[in-house]
């Protein structure tokens, strides 16, 4: 069996873990971005998140425009990578019937009752977003961080 081709492989043997709670009315993306900046998280990733929203703004797959959803939603998934020059987050939400929708998390997702956020930071590594000639998007670049 042939191994899949990777750009590079990196390992961190140390991990910082951050946990915080957002309150009603806070903007989910803005709060996460602000926390990442304040805590100087360099190679962050979402470990888990649970909570609810009263407004959701998501950029759906292969779309340029943001789609807004009004109502009350459960956060069923929040995943992504976090760095000082940007975050890449995907959100899945479910409505009261269980219908689930997901895509890129954008500003304007407002907490309904709570959002419990757990973030990891891989020490010794650094994430950045840089243009990729093949995709045409800002893609993840991983580097070893000097002390």
- Over the stretch 15-35, which tens digit does the pLDDT of each residue have? 999 999 999 999 999 999 999
Residue 97's pLDDT is: 97
Query: Structurally, how many domains does the chain consist of?
Result: 1
Q: Where are the beta strands (DSSP E) in the chain?
A: 15-22, 44-59, 67-83, 86-94, 100-105, 110-122, 125-131, 138-144
Which one is predicted more confidently, 112 or 3? 112
Which CATH number fits the domain that encloses residue 57?
3.30.1330.80
In a domain, 143, yes or no: no
In a domain, 72, yes or no: yes
Binning pLDDT at 50, 70 and 90, where does residue 5 land? Answer: low
In a domain, 94, yes or no: yes
CB-CB neighbours of 133 under 10 Å: 6
In a domain, 140, yes or no: no
In a domain, 144, yes or no: no
Query: Does pTM top 0.85 for this prediction?
Result: yes
In a domain, 47, yes or no: yes
In a domain, 79, yes or no: yes
Residues shown for the chain:
147
DSSP 8-state symbol, 107: T
Which one is predicted more confidently, 146 or 136? 136
Share of the chain above pLDDT 90, in %: 88
DSSP 8-state symbol, 5: P
pLDDT above 80 (res 7): no
Residue 45 sits in which domain range? 15-124
Residue 8's pLDDT is: 80
Q: What is the pLDDT of residues 67-114, one digit of tens each?
A: 999 999 999 999 999 999 999 999 999 999 999 999 999 999 999 999
In a domain, 146, yes or no: no
pLDDT above 80 (res 144): yes
């Amino acid at each position: 069996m042939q191994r899949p081709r990777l750009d590079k492989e990196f390992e961190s043997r140390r991990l910082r873990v951050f946990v915080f709670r957002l309150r009603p009315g806070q903007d989910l993306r803005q709060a996460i971005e602000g926390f990442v900046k304040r805590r100087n998280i360099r190679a962050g990733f979402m470990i888990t998140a649970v909570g609810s929203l009263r407004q959701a703004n998501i950029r759906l797959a292969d779309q340029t425009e943001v789609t807004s959803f009004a109502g009350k939603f459960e956060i069923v998934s929040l995943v992504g990578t976090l760095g000082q020059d940007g975050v890449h987050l995907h959100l899945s939400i479910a409505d009261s019937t269980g219908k689930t929708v997901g895509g890129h998390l954008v500003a304007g997702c407002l907490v309904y009752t709570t959002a419990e956020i757990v973030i990891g930071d891989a020490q010794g590594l650094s994430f950045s977003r840089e243009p990729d000639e093949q995709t045409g998007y800002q893609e993840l670049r991983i580097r070893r961080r000097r002390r």
